[in-house]
Amino acid sequence: MITSQMVKDVARNCGADIVGIGSMDRFEGAPLQYDPRYIMPEAKAIIGLGFRIHRGLLRGIEEGTYFAAYPAMGYANINDVYAPMVLREVGNFIEDNGHEAFLYSNGSVRLGCGIGKPVAPGKPKPDVFLHFRIAGVICGMGEIGYSKMFLTPEFGPRQRLAFILTDAPLEPDPLFEGKICDGCMKCVRACPGKAISKDEKVRVTVAGKELAWGQINDRKCSTAYQAGTREINPFMPSEEVAATIDGIINDTGEKGEKGMTSYTGNVWGYLRENVPYIKRCWESFHHPATICGGRGCIRACMSHLEERGVLKNKFEAPFRRRKEWKLQPEAAAAVNA
Ligand code: SF4
């Protein structure tokens, strides 16, 4: 019979940086569309795997001199190459021992969740969405910070997750009882998309534990995370695009300050069509550009956690070594994209 320790050893030997195991009953109360027990009704355990984003991958954006490493190696490589290989190896081990392994990578959600028709009454619409950050909590790997980023004691906000559902009866880890986020609000202040509310909170209860985080405006985050703003995007192709992005972030409505027009269509499609750097990222890595580089929710957060000395992954030098750069507003538009 396989044990939790055996699965953890295999996962670590294959390259996972963090491993946690949760029981499926911890999903009790999850909305139908977000309940992975509908994917594998006989599942007894969920295995969470964490893969570090190297701190150095954020260096080029921090210095303003190299933006491709983070989407290439910090997103696409982990989500589409490395994590699936580790998932596969752990899955092999589980299935070689007579149990099923359902491998759920971060790329699985890109086909669309809940967009099909239920195949029978009482079933959710395909595809069911696994809420990664809540699943991380269920696996005892860490907590959800105020920014809604998943935080671990090892790397703070600096990892990506992948999961396996299995009918192997694995012993679960306890829920994480520590406290990483101290509510400093540096994520809120540094977010270029003004996407994290400082007052409004989302509250959910998972496995008897109350979780809360700041309300995120997905539209603003999607825009700023991919394209930044005129102050932080050295690839901004035109004043018109910069004004549209300003319009979305500032919610200026139809005609806002300086005549900016808020864009009401599909943000992802707009950015892909109108920002050549983002289009090239999609074509090269099947991932959007990340011009923001998590200025608030990753870099400001991580710097703060490192200063407090609460992360296990230690470095000799602090991450933030210079004052944060910002482009002059007049230089932000109409550069060579
Ligand atoms: S990714 Fe960027 S825009 Fe989105 S919440 Fe984080 S700091 Fe804000």
Please tell me whether residues 82 and 158 are part of one structural domain.
Answer: yes
Mutating to test ligand 1, I would choose from 197, 221, 232, 245 the residue with most ligand atoms within 8 A of its C-beta, which is 221
pLDDT in tens, 109-121: 788 889 999 999 9
Domain region containing 103? 4-175
Domain boundary among 141, 175, 209: 175
Binned at pLDDT 50, 70 and 90, residue 264 comes out as confident
Tokens in use for 335? 């550069």
Domain boundary among 175, 201, 228: 175
Grouping H, G, I as helix, E, B as strand and the rest as coil, residue 150 is: strand
Please tell me whether residues 168 and 262 are part of one structural domain.
Answer: no
Please tell me whether residues 266 and 160 are part of one structural domain.
Answer: no
pLDDT at 205: 96
Average pLDDT over residues 266-275: 94
Residue 269: how many other CB atoms lie within 10 Å = 9
Please tell me whether residues 166 and 273 are part of one structural domain.
Answer: no
Please tell me whether residues 224 and 296 are part of one structural domain.
Answer: yes
Q: Does residue 333 surpass a pLDDT of 80?
A: no
Report the alpha-carbon distance of residue 162 to residue 124 in Å, rounded. Answer: 22
Q: Is 305 in the pocket of ligand 1 (CB under 6 A)?
A: no
Q: Is 263 in the pocket of ligand 1 (CB under 6 A)?
A: no
Average pLDDT over residues 90-103: 98
Tell me which of 48-57, 262-271, 273-282 is least confident.
Answer: 262-271
Evaluate whether residue 41 is within a structural domain: yes
Please tell me whether residues 15 and 130 are part of one structural domain.
Answer: yes
Average pLDDT over residues 289-310: 98
Q: How many domains does the chain have?
A: 2
- The CA 128 to ligand 1 mean position distance, Å, reads 25
Average pLDDT over residues 308-324: 97
Report the alpha-carbon distance of residue 54 to residue 292 in Å, rounded. Answer: 17
Q: Is 292 in the pocket of ligand 1 (CB under 6 A)?
A: yes
Please tell me whether residues 165 and 269 are part of one structural domain.
Answer: no
Report the alpha-carbon distance of residue 322 to residue 324 in Å, rounded. Answer: 6
Contact (CB, 8 A) for 137 and 175: yes
Evaluate whether residue 246 is within a structural domain: yes
Angle between helices 276-285 and 267-274 in degrees, nearest 10? 100
Peptide bond before residue 167 is cis, with ω within 30 degrees of 0: no
Report the alpha-carbon distance of residue 252 to residue 259 in Å, rounded. Answer: 9
Mutating to test ligand 1, I would choose from 198, 202, 292, 298 the residue with most ligand atoms within 8 A of its C-beta, which is 292
pLDDT in tens, 198-213: 999 999 999 999 999 9
Q: Residue length, the chain?
A: 337
Average pLDDT over residues 253-271: 69
Report the alpha-carbon distance of residue 226 to residue 280 in Å, rounded. Answer: 12
Q: Does residue 334 surpass a pLDDT of 80?
A: no
Please tell me whether residues 142 and 263 are part of one structural domain.
Answer: no
Q: Does residue 331 surpass a pLDDT of 70?
A: no
Question: Vertex 116, ends 114 and 121: CA angle to 5°?
Answer: 90
- The CA 297 to ligand 1 mean position distance, Å, reads 6
pLDDT at 335: 57
Please tell me whether residues 251 and 307 are part of one structural domain.
Answer: yes
Mutating to test ligand 1, I would choose from 70, 196, 248 the residue with most ligand atoms within 8 A of its C-beta, which is 196
Please tell me whether residues 145 and 227 are part of one structural domain.
Answer: no
Binned at pLDDT 50, 70 and 90, residue 259 comes out as very low
**CATH number for the domain harbouring residue 128:** 3.40.109
Tokens in use for 15? 């390259």
Please tell me whether residues 20 and 82 are part of one structural domain.
Answer: yes
- The CA 217 to ligand 1 mean position distance, Å, reads 10
Q: In the beta sheet, which residues pair with residue 196?
A: 216
Cα 9 to Cα 3, 80, 119, 191: the distances in Å are 10, 23, 38, 38
